[in-house]
């Protein structure tokens, strides 16, 4: 078995904005620079989307029937990573830059933005009660948490439904029971 590569993220830090101001500032901004995110920024974004905040594994975002049927993956220049909310760490899935493969046509900003979060739905007997609709609600709540964290850190981001999920899942080497359903592309404003 190949050795697992796990990168621990720094603990999430208080973000320098009130919830009111972050809600007011949240905007879809498609001018995104290629400048990498800092580990601290990434940590806050991923924690906001799917961080674990209780001893029994509950998250920052609500999930249908507490099934946690949606996971977050990160597409970055150095590869595809799975976010492990329990460990607050990133686990390497494949060392391949798949950012451009996550869009159907918005290459102008997706290809170079430093991060695309991919919300991946699990379709197994365990998660049947969340399918087909509730996984989308779960993913929407997770995306909005990430968008608020982006706004609070002065970042620019785009929620994206225009993704070929089954194709992207294959490129990400996911088992057929895991399908990308939504993306959030994020970075520093241009
Ligand atoms: C479910 C959903 C799917 C979206 N898909 C895309 C997309 O594929 N590409 C894109 O550029 N923007 C996408 N958006 C962003 C919307 O265009 C944007 O939220 C809308 O224009 C309102 O702007 P605001 O987010 O700044 O309030 C999506 C938003 C949502 C909620």
Q: Which two tokens stand for residue 7?
A: 């990168």
* Predicted pLDDT at 16: 84
What is the pLDDT averaged over residues 104-120?
98
Burial (0-12, 13-18, 19+ Cβ within 10 Å), 151: buried
- Taking only the tens place, the pLDDT of each residue in 52-84 is 999 999 999 999 999 999 999 999 999 999 999
DSSP string, 34-55: -PPPPHHHHHHHHHHHH-B-ST
- Taking only the tens place, the pLDDT of each residue in 139-169 is 999 999 999 999 999 999 999 999 999 999 9
CA of 159 to the centre of ligand 1 (A): 5
Burial (0-12, 13-18, 19+ Cβ within 10 Å), 79: middle
- Taking only the tens place, the pLDDT of each residue in 98-108 is 999 999 999 99
CA of 23 to the centre of ligand 1 (A): 16
**Quick check: 29 pLDDT over 90?**
yes
Domain ranges of the chain: 6-187
* Predicted pLDDT at 78: 97
Residue 126: other Cβ atoms inside 10 A: 12
What is the pLDDT averaged over residues 120-125?
98
CA of 160 to the centre of ligand 1 (A): 6
CA of 158 to the centre of ligand 1 (A): 7
* Predicted pLDDT at 1: 65
Which CATH number is associated with domain 6-187? 3.40.109.10
Q: Residue of the nearest CA to atom 31 in ligand 1?
A: 159
Name the nearest CA neighbour of 76 among 51, 43, 111, 24. 111
List C-alpha distances in Å: 57 to 32, 88, 143. Answer: 33, 12, 19
Per-position b or e across 101-111, b if 16+ CB within 10 A of its CB = bbbeebeebbb
* Predicted pLDDT at 124: 97
Q: Residue of the nearest CA to atom 25 in ligand 1?
A: 28
CA of 162 to the centre of ligand 1 (A): 10
* Predicted pLDDT at 3: 81
Distance of CA 180 to the CA centre of its chain: 10
161 lines ligand 1 (CB under 6 A): yes
162 lines ligand 1 (CB under 6 A): yes
159 lines ligand 1 (CB under 6 A): yes
Burial (0-12, 13-18, 19+ Cβ within 10 Å), 182: buried
User: pLDDT over 90 for what percent of the chain?
Assistant: 98
């Amino acid at each position: 078995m190949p050795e697992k590569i796990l990168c621990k993220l720094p603990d999430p830090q208080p973000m320098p904005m009130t919830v009111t101001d972050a809600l007011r500032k949240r905007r879809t901004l498609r001018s995104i620079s290629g400048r990498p995110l800092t580990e601290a920024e990434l940590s806050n974004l991923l924690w906001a989307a799917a961080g674990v905040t209780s001893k029994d594994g509950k998250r920052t975002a609500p999930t249908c029937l507490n099934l946690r049927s949606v996971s977050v993956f990160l597409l970055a220049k150095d590869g595809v990573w799975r976010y492990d909310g329990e460990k607050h760490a990133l686990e390497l899935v494949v060392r391949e830059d798949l950012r451009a493969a996550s869009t159907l046509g918005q290459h102008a900003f997706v290809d170079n933005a430093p991060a695309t979060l991919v919300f991946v739905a699990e379709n197994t007997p365990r998660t049947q009660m969340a399918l087909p609709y509730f996984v989308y609600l779960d993913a929407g709540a997770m995306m909005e948490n990430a968008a608020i964290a982006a706004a609070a850190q002065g970042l620019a981001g785009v929620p994206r439904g225009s993704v070929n999920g089954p194709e992207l899942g294959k490129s990400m080497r996911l088992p057929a029971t895991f399908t990308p359903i939504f993306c959030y592309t994020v970075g520093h404003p241009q």
